[in-house]
């Protein structure tokens, strides 16, 4: 399995995007309200053919097409086509609003519909995730995003495979490291407990070297290898509160987290406020209250944004 090598990290703060200075050799940088992808074959060591061990130098390729493909476009083999802007440089500009609100995306460059760009460590620093007076490294993310613990609140379990010699857990929470998280034999299968911050994660099991998605988890997404990654969403309990409106008969919470459904999340009256506790993943969420049929932003929350249709919504950031 080819490891995914590039990462974009966006942090949403105070209703806007906090943009960080980027090393352009990472394959992307921010410019205004755009994410700019750049591909230069001179900073890549080899081109690999998916599903094989074949490698060849980029200097041997007659490049006629480069696309950006990743988790944000479901690893489409068509991807987002880049424009040639120089002798060696290909570029693609995308609005930040073209992406969803997850904190992390993974992507790679696909050349001539067939070859994956593999970086030269001496020229292409893939460890730098973002820069804001300090650098976080992928290695540190491997160690700290997921914390293995016997008392961990998240339980990974693979039923069966009792004759396997080694089972590894790998996912977006540890940069798909193939050796870091060893699962332990348990009754009826293999188990690993860990603590994870709220967020959206993709993962797989590696059973004696063979990659497989979680057969017990129906939530999955197709990856760049035309196989599946299992999906795990770790949530955090968030309290929505609206003071006043004591004469209201019904107050509903609606937002991007439930596709703006108008009757699903009914708030209850507690003392002098309307209250609702729900579990949300990390990221930016838009929401409104519906008071006796009338939509309104949260009067106590100054963080607001317009959506693409011009509607103003309250903004909640779950860290």
Quote the pLDDT of residue 100: 56
* Any domain includes 241: yes
Mean pLDDT score of the chain: 78
CA gap 95, 99 in Å, rounded: 8
Quote the pLDDT of residue 220: 93
CATH (domain of 32): 2.60.40
Of 45, 84, 48, which Cα lies nearest the Cα of 66? 84
Q: Domain range spanning residue 168?
A: 145-234
Long-range residue pairs from 17-21, CB within 8 A, at least 24 positions apart, any chain: 17/96, 18/132, 20/130, 20/131, 20/132, 21/131, 21/132
Q: Report pLDDT digits (tens) over 160-205.
A: 999 999 999 999 888 788 888 999 999 999 999 998 888 788 999 9
Residue 53: is its pLDDT beyond 60? no
One domain for residues 116 and 17: yes
Supply φ then ψ for residue 41, to 5 degrees. Answer: -60, -15
Q: Which domain-ending residue is among 213, 234, 255?
A: 234
Distances 307 to 38, 69, 304, 310, 313 between C-alpha atoms, Å: 28, 26, 10, 5, 7
Q: Residue range 142-146: average pLDDT? A: 58
One domain for residues 205 and 294: no
* Any domain includes 1: no
Residue 133: is its pLDDT beyond 60? no
Q: Residue range 247-268: average pLDDT? A: 94
Residue with tokens 């995730």: 129
pTM of the model: 0.51
CA gap 203, 229 in Å, rounded: 6
Q: Look at the chain and count its residues.
A: 319
């Amino acid at each position: 399995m080819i490891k995914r090598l590039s990462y974009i990290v966006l942090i949403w703060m105070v209703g806007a995007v906090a943009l960080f200075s980027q090393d352009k050799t990472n394959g992307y940088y921010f410019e205004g309200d755009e994410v700019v992808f750049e591909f230069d074959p001179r900073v890549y060591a080899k081109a690999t053919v998916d599903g094989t061990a074949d490698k060849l130098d980029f200097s041997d390729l007659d490049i006629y097409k480069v696309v950006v493909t990743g988790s944000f476009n479901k690893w489409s083999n068509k991807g987002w086509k880049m424009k040639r802007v120089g002798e060696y440089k290909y570029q693609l500009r995308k609005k930040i609003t073209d992406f969803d609100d997850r904190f992390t995306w993974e992507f790679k460059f696909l050349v001539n519909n067939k070859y994956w760009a593999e970086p030269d460590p001496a020229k292409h620093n893939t460890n730098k995730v973002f820069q804001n007076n300090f650098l976080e490294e992928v290695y540190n993310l491997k160690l700290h995003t997921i914390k293995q613990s016997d008392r961990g609140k998240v339980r990974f379990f693979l039923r069966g495979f009792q004759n396997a010699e080694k089972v590894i857990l790998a996912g977006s929470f540890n940069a798909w490291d193939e050796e870091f998280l060893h699962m332990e034999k348990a009754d009826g299968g293999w188990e690993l407990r860990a603590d994870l911050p709220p967020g959206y994660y993709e993962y797989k099991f590696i059973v004696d070297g063979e990659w497989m998605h979680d057969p017990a988890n129906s939530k999955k997404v197709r990856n760049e290898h035309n196989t599946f990654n299992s999906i795990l969403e770790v949530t955090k309990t968030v309290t929505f509160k609206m003071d006043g409106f004591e004469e209201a008969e019904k107050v509903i919470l609606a937002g991007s987290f439930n596709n703006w459904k108008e009757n699903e999340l009914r708030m209850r009256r507690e003392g002098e406020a309307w209250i609702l506790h729900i579990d949300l993943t990390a990221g930016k969420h838009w929401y409104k209250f519906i008071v006796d049929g009338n939509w309104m932003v949260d009067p106590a929350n100054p963080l607001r944004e317009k959506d693409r249709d011009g509607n103003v919504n309250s903004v909640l950031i779950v860290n």
